[in-house]
Amino acid sequence: MGAEDAFSYALSSNAAWAGYKNHQNPAFFPKLATGQSPSILWIGCSDSRVPETTVLGLQPGDVFVHRNIANIVSPTDINISAVVEYAVVYLKVKHVVLCGHTSCGGAAAALGDSRVGGVLDTWLTPLKTVRHAHEADLKNIEDAGKRGVRLAELNVEAGVKVLMSNYVVEEAIKERGLKVHGVLFDIATGKIRDLGLGNAGMVGEDGEIVKGHHGMLVFKEGGVAAMTVQ
């Protein structure tokens, strides 16, 4: 299928989808047009194999989205900062999900020693920084594919730390119990694996958190406290 044919097919497919959705629920699109109230902010990779709404089994309007190459979260990226601020402050999402994935071309490029070219080398610098910080551990992984998956996991971990340090995210965690998740999508199985990062599952019903230099003290219902090392 040529490029023009692919686009024509996409338009035809869209018309069929819109017609089906309208037949299924005539109020769906009119309601969608009145505004959005997604409960999830999804930060993922631009990879065409990881379409967030599809893999989550959700509908238009359910997920607010930011995607970039290799799902890199940088504190100096005004684009992602604007998305996070809008989603957290104005849309008041309940979950922020940072998703990496297997077979990531960005991870493979960061693991290599040759230049990619153009602006991509600059963009992948944070990912290469993660690689260098974990050089010894990554070199111990002989299989190149598994090494790439491990770097993808470490990249998510680094991104979650940046998100948890974002002021609006910190405030939303304290004030209304916003949950931050780090996950990995396995392209070969279509399943999402929770990496146990962020604060999901660690915040009490009142959302009260006290942070220290070496851990996070979480006060749960009944005054019971638990320490989670960060």
> What class, spelled out in words, does domain 37-197 have in CATH?
alpha beta
pLDDT at residue 127 greater than cutoff 90: yes
5 is in an annotated binding site: no
Q: Which residues contact 159 (CB under 8 A, 6 or more apart)?
A: 43, 71, 72, 73, 98, 182
pLDDT at residue 101 greater than cutoff 90: yes
| pLDDT tens by residue, 28-40 | 999 999 999 999 9
Mean pLDDT in residue range 135-160: 97
Q: What confidence tier does 208 reach under pLDDT thresholds 50, 70, 90? A: very low
| Exposure of 86 in the CB half-sphere (CA atoms within 13 A) | 13
Q: What confidence tier does 108 reach under pLDDT thresholds 50, 70, 90? A: very high
Q: Which residues contact 117 (CB under 8 A, 6 or more apart)?
A: none
Q: 206-228: string of b/e by CB count within 10 Å (b at 16+)?
A: ebebeeeeeebebbeeeeeeeee
Q: Are 91 and 64 in contact (CB under 8 A)?
A: yes
pLDDT at residue 221 greater than cutoff 90: no
At 128, the amino acid letter reads K
Segments making up each domain of the chain, as ranges: 37-197, 200-230
47 is in an annotated binding site: yes
Round the average pLDDT of the chain to a whole number and report it.
89
The pTM for the full model equals 0.85
Q: Which residue has the higher pLDDT, 34 or 228?
A: 34
Which residues belong to the active site?
A: 45, 47, 49, 101, 104
CB-count exposure of residue 122 (10 Å: 0-12, 13-18, 19+): exposed
At 229, the amino acid letter reads V
**What is the predicted pLDDT for the residue at 182?**
98
| pLDDT tens by residue, 166-184 | 999 999 999 999 999 999 9
104 is in an annotated binding site: yes
45 is in an annotated binding site: yes
Q: What confidence tier does 200 reach under pLDDT thresholds 50, 70, 90? A: confident
- Overall size of the chain counted in residues: 230
Enumerate the β-bridge partners of residue 186. Answer: 191
